[in-house]
Amino acid sequence: MREYLKFYIGGQWTDPAELRTLDIVNPATEEVAGKVAVGSAADVDRAVAAARGAFAGWSASSKQDRIDLLQNILEAYQKRSADLAAALTEEMGAPASLAGGFQVQLGVGQLSTAIEVLKEFAFEERRGASLVVKEPIGVCGLITPWNWPMNLIAVKVFPALATGCTMVLKPSERSPFTGQIFAEILDAAGVPAGVFNLVQGDGPGVGVPLASHPDVDMVSFTGSTRAGVEVAKNAAPGVKRVAQELGGKSPNIILDDDAFAENVGKGVASMMGNSGQTCSAPSRMLVPRARMEEAVEAARKAASEVTVGDPNGDVVIGPVVAKDQFERVQGLIQKGIDEGARLVAGGTGRPDGLEKGYYVKPTVFADVTNDMTIAREEIFGPVATILGYDDLDDAIEIANDTEYGLAGFVAGADLEQARAVARRIRAGSVAINDGFDFLAPFGGYKKSGNGREWGEFGFHDYLEIKGVLGYAPDEAAS
């Protein structure tokens, strides 16, 4: 049984202003796995004050100082990889292979990328007679979700450190164990007191006072669009910068070629990963209407190969994160049936043999139309939807007919055709044939958010731009 009852503030593990705790339920067993302290506005005040006090010193640190610190963090992170993986499996049900693999290694990749970007990043640039300076924005409030904890903490904390900002992190109350271990890692790596602070808690108790705090200069939030709107409202009176990565309902256009069946299978498998709990998941698969039956067979086969069960065993997916998430996914699967989509695989209820735990059947719907609820709303479970298109113009129109614009996918053997389709998808990130790159920007159009993370692009929201005019007047005159 884990017990985390202190926050990391000002370089010390400190008691909360008032001890209140939250039980954390293991979604695979439905049993309590531990408890964490739940913070309040008073704890946020202390953490922000510590960050504000540390800002003058850290913002003036050299690039080499920051590189050295990030290298220390990398070493400390790698030493705790097994601890992070175990916590991920326990708090959110990620299978051991995923938790110790991609989940934890995404943090390594983001950190290594931040180090390499920082080495070459230009904080000053001459433009004619002027000097353009990029300076750290100040104290940052970082609010992260539960579904990819290490990646989503990493894409905020490491760019903030690299650019000279100080920060307060609020991890999701559904994945607090990894947040606590992450703070232990930064402490072991020697992060200066007050530069990084951790307060656990929920949205109303910690998220709202953090987003609205007058001494917070910037808020970076990842989560649902609904919650993102509230964060922006809370931040607005302070005219602080708000960067958001929100929901998605991403199209996956399968081109009409000889690799069609294989690409359908890959698309379904990708959708099921992490129990479908990925904001950029390829949840709307678009296939040529004339090949719908071929797509159905390929999708059914792919879904049948997705094993579900105890995340400590050899399975592809474990449970979804919590009871309310399970019930939401079940309700949307039933909605798909009620609205007339063809159920190809899965359906409501738990998989056979799993009577306890928030397990969802790998589910596929075909003959989906873009006005159905399951094609409009983010399900956040292992549920794939297949829609038909007449030609590529029709496919692109359907793909873009959504309030979201986080990601898109194109799969096909003809690279030039795939590139042309990718250019027309209105989304912040479009992957051709499963392309992946830590240096590429990630973020959304429309109600999927604003700002960008990953690589160099992840630095920009943490920087103010100053123009120093007349810096070199003699050069301008010549």
Model confidence over 60-109: pLDDT tens digits?
A: 999 999 999 999 999 999 999 999 999 999 999 999 999 999 999 999 99
233-258, pLDDT tens digit by residue? Answer: 999 999 999 999 999 999 999 999 99
* Strand pairing class (342-345; 218-222): unpaired
Same domain, 122 and 264: no
| CATH code of the domain in which 108 resides | 3.40.605.10
* Per-residue pLDDT reduced to its tens digit, 308-325: 999 999 999 999 999 999
Query: At residue 478, does pLDDT exceed 90?
Result: no
What is the pLDDT at residue 477?
Answer: 54
Task: Give residue 110's pLDDT band: very low, low, confident or very high (50, 70, 90).
Answer: very high
Looking at the annotation, which residues are catalytic? 245, 279
Q: State the pLDDT confidence band at 473, using cuts at 50, 70 and 90.
A: confident
Domain for residue 262, yes or no?
yes
Averaged pLDDT, 342-366: 98
**Same domain, yes or no: 193 and 324:** no
Answer yes or no: is 62 within a domain: yes
Same domain, 270 and 180: no
211 shares a domain with 101: yes
Q: Give yes or no: residues 124 and 66 share one domain.
A: yes
> How distant, in Å, are the alpha carbons of 54, 117, 182, 459 from that of 443?
29, 18, 24, 13
CA 318 – CA 27 distance, rounded (Å):
9
pLDDT confidence bin for 350, thresholds 50/70/90: very high
Give residue for tokens 């072991």: 188
Domain of residue 292, CATH code:
3.40.309.10
Helices (H), 35-148: 41-59, 63-79, 81-92, 96-98, 104-120
Query: Over the stretch 369-415, which tens digit does the pLDDT of each residue have?
Result: 999 999 999 999 999 999 999 999 999 999 999 999 999 999 999 99
**Residues 215, 356 within the same domain:** no
Judge if 177 and 268 occupy the same domain: no
* Domain tally, the chain: 2
Residues 6+ apart with CB under 8 A from 394: none
Sequence-distant (≥ 6) Cβ neighbours of residue 64 within 8 angstroms: none
Residue 205 lies in a domain: yes
pLDDT, one tens digit per residue, over 439-461 is: 999 999 999 999 999 999 999 99
pLDDT digits (tens, 9 = 90+) for 135-178: 999 999 999 999 999 999 999 999 999 999 999 999 999 999 99
Give the pLDDT score at 474.
72
What is the distance between the alpha carbons of residues 107 and 448, in angstroms, rounded to a whole number? 22
In a shared domain, residues 281 and 226? no
- 122 within some domain: yes
- 206 and 317, same domain (yes or no): no
- Residue 475: pLDDT above 80? no
The reply to whether 460 and 399 lie within a common domain is no
- Taking only the tens place, the pLDDT of each residue in 28-58 is 999 999 999 999 999 999 999 999 999 999 9
Q: Cα–Cα distance between 225 and 204 in angstroms, integer?
A: 16
Q: Is residue 318 part of a domain?
A: yes
Please choose, from the candidates 326, 381, 382, the residue with its C-alpha nearest in 3D space to the C-alpha of residue 356.
326
Is 439 contained in some domain?
no
Task: Assess if residue 23 is contained within a domain.
Answer: yes
Tens digits of residue pLDDT in 15-32 = 999 999 999 999 999 999
Residues 206 and 304 in one domain: no
Residues 84 and 229 in one domain: yes
| Residue pLDDT, tens place only, 268-304 | 999 999 999 999 999 999 999 999 999 999 999 999 9
Asked which of 4-8, 286-290, 473-477 is least confident by mean pLDDT, the reply is 473-477
In a domain, 354, yes or no: yes
Range of the domain at 283: 251-432
